[in-house]
Chains A and B, each alone.
Chain A
Amino acid sequence: MHTLSLRELADGLARAQFSSEELTQHFLKRIAAHNPTLNAYITVLEDHALAAARNADEMRASGENSLLLGIPLAHKDIFCTNGVRTSCGSKMLDNFIAPYNATIVDKLATAGMVTLGKTNMDEFAMGSSNETSYYGPVRNPWNTNCVPGGSSGGSAAAVAAGLAPAATGTDTGGSIRQPSALCNLTGLKPTYGRVSRYGMIAFASSLDQAGPMTRTAEDAALLLQAMAGFDEKDSTSIDCAVPDYSASLNHSLQGKVIGVPKEFFAEGLSDAVADKIREALAEFEKMGATLKDISLPHSHLSIPCYYVIAPAEASTNLSRYDGVRYGHRCDNPLDLADLYTRTREEGFGDEVKRRILVGTYALSAGFYDAYYRKAQRIRRLIKNDFIEAFKEVDMIAGPTSPNPAFALGEKVDDPLTMYLEDMYTIAVNLAGVPALSIPAGMADGKPVGLQLIGRDFCEGDILNAAHQFQLQTDWHKQFAPAFA
């Protein structure tokens, strides 16, 4: 049961091949067996999940038959869950019991999904390896000496090892797509504003988006359908009709033009990944699509631009953690200043502190124009690159990540090298456009991800292309051997 897609699980439940309770028990048993190795979950909600599963079974018995009813999933521990610890991977929120649900947590529960638990992540979603988590690193199911990617590393490892059939993630600079690539999943970052951010702990508010992490594009379409939509409670939510994502999955790719940016195949890309990506692109040609060489001329500025905008917004967002209203508080503060500064010294890890300091610097008097304003101007140049490209192409394709999964500890002491892991994903967040990663082959037994980037609000187009690719290939069906 743990290797089946959401679609297959939905069919199994509809045909009464198994109950939601049996399915949930199965995943809980697997979590108990394998989580000590992988550290994918921070919190497992056994009683809560079994109660929700029994409730789903009762609803089905009384005639309810919505597609996702009774299917388990895991939530990244960045989404507030009423009455349940929501840590965001930080000591600062280790004792934080959220008093409300994030909108997407409510939406997926309303769809009948069963929450298995909360997954591990880089602290406050700041990282590309899941090594900045207060709860320790997550291991990659494909090679347990390697990182699963980050920041949604726990969600990726949980789905890749069959400890959940699907999971939610968030993506500020690649945090859904890069771990999906490194763990052989399909992971989608929707258009900025497509999915509500209410109850999703803020990192960089002009970049953050929530999305699905699944085994197949078909599953991503199902989960996105249940997550997407306007939300009054999120002031950045966009009021734009949500199409039927499953309905367009089978459209032909005949005549579609796929842009291949030369900047995504330049210095920094490993040969092993480049080979697999070129093979994948050839597959799209076989399906009738045309490849077109394009340029995104400001790509090389996306990392510098991001490492001003994201830390600046983070320094503002994380100013709320002051030891007064919730979360960690230092012992025996001498005065108010001591309460603030020591609470934050103890509650935040090194990478989070670094980014807060960089952001504070970039926003400080005398440097605001040279850093923050400058980065916002560069951001427009990056967005304009995509606007120009989409005049000529229907979507853009390239690698998700320059390297397959790297060893635990290999880059953790070198932030600048770690930042380069997101060199192909960050521009997408700055531009706000949707993108996904799909399995595209193996390099030394480690998964390689192909990234497809679409026009604003055209998630359906890239899901269609991803699904068509998955009808022709079986990379997405490969399962981490040690956890099969």
Chain B
Amino acid sequence: MAVSPSDIEKIAHLARIRIAPEQIDSVAERISDILAMVDQMQAVDTDSIPPMANPHDAVQRLRKDEVSESNQRERFQAIAPRTEDGLYLVPKVIE
């Protein structure tokens, strides 16, 4: 299936990736090529085949909801771009 430049703008917004306007057309072309290849799947009737999410059909293992890790906020925030008083700083969201 071919995607249009405006489709790419929508997908890029969903993915929160800026794509320079001059690149939109070439990205649309590349993505369309990949989707055309992927479309080989559509020739196969899979209505009776249950989807497989895990190659062992395993489900997520659960554990008791207990505290198992110690707090390491300073350590983890040491690698953050910007923090203050234990908080991560981002541009103002609410005026």
Contacts and interface: CB of A to CB of B under 8 A. Distances in A.
A371 interface: yes
B52 A380 contact: yes
A371 to B, nearest CB: 7
Contacts of A324: 80-81, 88, 90
Contacts of B75: 99
Contacts of A112: none
B38 to A, nearest CB: 5
A373 interface: yes
B80 A378 contact: no
A293 interface: no
A235 B61 contact: yes
Contacts of B67: none
Chain B, interface size category, equals 35 or more
A338 B91 CA distance: 9
Interface string A172-216: 000000000000000000001100000000000010000000000
Interface string A347-390: 01000011011101100100000110111111111010000000
Contact of B44 (A308, A345, A378, A432): A378
Given A339-B90, A377-B49, A236 B58 contact: yes
A456 B56 contact: yes
Interface in B13-38: 14-20, 27, 30-31, 33-35, 37-38
A379 B53 CA distance: 8
Contact of A353 (B7, B17, B39, B46): B17
B58 A360 contact: no
Contacts of A267: none
B86 interface: no
Contacts, number: 163
Contact of B11 (A232, A235, A360, A377): A360
Given A322-B16, A341-B18, A96 B35 contact: no
A292 interface: no
Interface stretch (A58-66, A247-255, A329-337, A440-448): A329-337
Interface residues of A, number: 69
Given A238-B58, A334-B91, A361-B31, A379 B37 contact: no
A354 B31 contact: yes
Contact of B46 (A323, A381, A383): A381
A1 B72 CA distance: 42
A342 interface: yes
Contacts of B72: 99
Interface in A399-426: 415-416, 419
A381 B44 contact: yes
18 contacts: A97-B79, A99-B76, A235-B60, A235-B61, A238-B58, A303-B37, A304-B41, A307-B38, A329-B81, A342-B18, A345-B20, A356-B15, A361-B3, A374-B41, A377-B50, A377-B52, A378-B49, A416-B34
Interface of B: 3, 7-8, 11-12, 14-20, 27, 30-31, 33-35, 37-42, 44, 46, 49-56, 58, 60-61, 63, 72, 75-76, 78-82, 88, 90-93
Given A308-B41, A319-B16, 9 more contacts: A99-B78, A304-B39, A307-B38, A322-B16, A335-B91, A340-B16, A358-B31, A377-B50, A419-B37
Interface of A: 95-97, 99, 192-193, 206, 232, 235-236, 238, 298, 300-301, 303-305, 307-308, 315, 319, 322-327, 329, 333-342, 344-345, 348, 353-354, 356-358, 360-361, 364, 370-371, 373-381, 383, 415-416, 419, 430-433, 456
Q: Across chains A and B, which 9 residue pairs bring their CB atoms closest together, nearest first?
A: A432-B55, A376-B51, A377-B46, A329-B81, A345-B18, A380-B52, A341-B18, A340-B16, A377-B49
